[in-house]
Amino acid sequence: MTSQGVRATVERDPVEAGLRHLGARRYGSVYEALEQAIRRPDGQTGTILTALTAPTSIVEDWTPAERAHALWNLIEEGIFQPQVGPTAQSRRRRALQAAFRVPDEDVGEWKASLTDRFKQLRTPRSPFGEVTSTQPMEIAWKRGVGRLAEYVAERLAEMRTPEDWARYKPQPPRVAERANVTNGHRAAGNTPTVFREPSEGAQKLFVNLFVVTVVLEGKARVRRISERLITSQDPDGLRWFTSRAYSTRSPAQGRTYVPAQPLWGCRAEHISEDGLPTTRLCFPRPLKRGERAHFAAEVVYETDPDDPRGWASVDIDSYGVDAGELRDGLLPVSGLTIRVKFDDDSPPAAVWWYAELNERERHQEPPAGSPRRLEVVEGSVSKTFEKPCQPRESYGIAFNWL
């Protein structure tokens, strides 16, 4: 691109032009381009990205790498804002994820060119479907980058002091820890996560670690063990975690409440809440805001019937769950991990994971070769959700014997 072309691009709309440049890059990460622009503001990339990088100069004691990370954190935050990419399956969000190479649950490694990345979105589950051209993706990208530019420009205008930028600064211990994670099990970008608003009745806590193990006999659940590390968000002191587990007896009888039994770190109170039986897993003492608790409980299903379609599901009724992470590719140390142990005499025909889908979509078996399909190893299957789990959403493993 000539210097005249660079000036014309920037003059068209500085913030959007910078974002378009980042999204169209064939090689390297967005962070690398931002760091290059900060280190060489008079270079070609630096000139195009000035509208994005110049506001970070207020944190003059930060390194270029820290400034680039903070700026990328802000941009990635914008991609997941409701006014930009309203849902996980919105066309705008998926096109922005492809452009900025944000990990996508349905896509493996992003390809080089923007056009090829758009082609990777042509899948049965994608909101674009199996279209024959990339025109729908290009339209979604045009609309999405415009909305993103508005969000980023507004936020940059508000970032007037070093304190305003502090929330986006990467935390060195956390970044270093995640750099050691293997097999691709790491949260995207090492960024501060932006969660949507929880429901009015959400439990006032944030889940740092959540490991669920479901054991089957035949085709029926018999046990579900849940281990949690949570952080209180209750200014009045968090006294308990509310557990609601159900077993389906039959279509006519509907759901039946199953009490949870404490294993460690809590005690159980079985009460009626809003006319429904409920288990409170009470902590030894109330947790102040920011305090943590580690506890585990078990549910035993006595009358769960066989079902040709099974699943192990988690509904997020709290402020959210941290991004998933495995140490040495095996040990869950953060986020949501779901495990299912099948009966050796009743192996499943197919197993897959789902995230943020309605009940009908959860039971739709992904095609062969889909990254959502899971392999059963020695009668067990496990899924760690690399992305944070949002309030008011459902995540799980589904399977069938058909």
- pLDDT tens digit string along 194-204? 677 888 889 99
Q: Is the pLDDT of residue 227 over 50?
A: yes
- Name the residue with tokens 């779901």: 338
What Cα–Cα distance (Å) separates residue 108 from each residue in 44, 101, 327?
A: 31, 10, 21
Transcribe 16-37 into DSSP letters. HHHHHHHHH-SSS-HHHHHHHH
Cβ pair 26, 112 in contact under 8 A: yes
- Which band of pLDDT confidence, cut at 50, 70 and 90, is reported for residue 82? confident
Contacts of 284 (CB under 8 A, 6+ apart): 266
The strand pair at 245-250 and 292-300 is best described as unpaired
The amino acid sitting at 81 is Q
Q: Is the pLDDT of residue 11 over 70?
A: no
In CATH terms, is domain 205-400 a member of 2.60.40? yes
Report the mean per-residue pLDDT for the chain: 84
As a whole number of angstroms, the distance between CA 96 and CA 138 comes to: 10
- Which band of pLDDT confidence, cut at 50, 70 and 90, is reported for residue 187? very low
Residue 269, token pair as written in the block: 């109170």
As a whole number of angstroms, the distance between CA 286 and CA 350 comes to: 44
Question: Per-domain residue ranges for the chain?
Answer: 3-170, 205-400
Q: Hey, which of 173-182, 206-215, 393-402 has the most confident mean pLDDT?
A: 206-215
What Cα–Cα distance (Å) separates residue 237 from each residue in 204, 291, 332?
A: 9, 9, 28
The amino acid sitting at 226 is S
- Which band of pLDDT confidence, cut at 50, 70 and 90, is reported for residue 236? confident
The DSSP 8-state label assigned to residue 186 in this structure reads S
The residue that leads in pLDDT, 274 or 317, is: 317
Torsions phi, psi for 141 (to 5 deg): -65, -45
- What integer pLDDT is reported at residue 354 of this predicted model? 93
- What integer pLDDT is reported at residue 210 of this predicted model? 96
Contacts of 342 (CB under 8 A, 6+ apart): 216, 348, 376, 379, 380, 381
Torsions phi, psi for 283 (to 5 deg): -85, 160
Cβ pair 25, 81 in contact under 8 A: no
Residue 156, token pair as written in the block: 């940059």
- Which band of pLDDT confidence, cut at 50, 70 and 90, is reported for residue 2? very low
pTM of the model: 0.54
- What integer pLDDT is reported at residue 136 of this predicted model? 94
Instruction: Provide the CB-side half-sphere exposure for 183 (13 A, CA).
Output: 13
- Which band of pLDDT confidence, cut at 50, 70 and 90, is reported for residue 320? very high
How many helices (DSSP H) and strands (DSSP E) are in the chain?
A: 12, 15
Contacts of 249 (CB under 8 A, 6+ apart): 255, 256, 303, 305
User: Which helix or strand (DSSP H or E) is residue 318 part of?
Assistant: none
- What integer pLDDT is reported at residue 369 of this predicted model? 86
The residue that leads in pLDDT, 264 or 235, is: 264
As a whole number of angstroms, the distance between CA 213 and CA 357 comes to: 21
Q: Which of 207, 220, 182, 186 is nearest to 340 (CA)?
A: 220
Q: Is the pLDDT of residue 95 over 70?
A: yes
Residue 219, token pair as written in the block: 């085709």
- What integer pLDDT is reported at residue 74 of this predicted model? 92
What percentage of the chain carries pLDDT values higher than 70? 87
- What integer pLDDT is reported at residue 308 of this predicted model? 61
Q: Which of 177-191, 249-263, 287-301, 376-390 has the lowest mean pLDDT?
A: 177-191
Q: Which of 143-147, 262-266, 270-274 has the lowest mean pLDDT?
A: 270-274
Q: Is the pLDDT of residue 15 over 80?
A: yes
User: Which helix or strand (DSSP H or E) is residue 369 part of?
Assistant: none
Q: Is the pLDDT of residue 375 over 50?
A: yes
Residues found in the chain: 402
- What integer pLDDT is reported at residue 24 of this predicted model? 93
Transcribe 212-268 into DSSP letters. EEEEEETTEEEEEEEEEEEEE--TT-EEEEEE-EEEEEETTTEEEEE-EEEEES-EE
- Which band of pLDDT confidence, cut at 50, 70 and 90, is reported for residue 303? low
- Which band of pLDDT confidence, cut at 50, 70 and 90, is reported for residue 176? very low
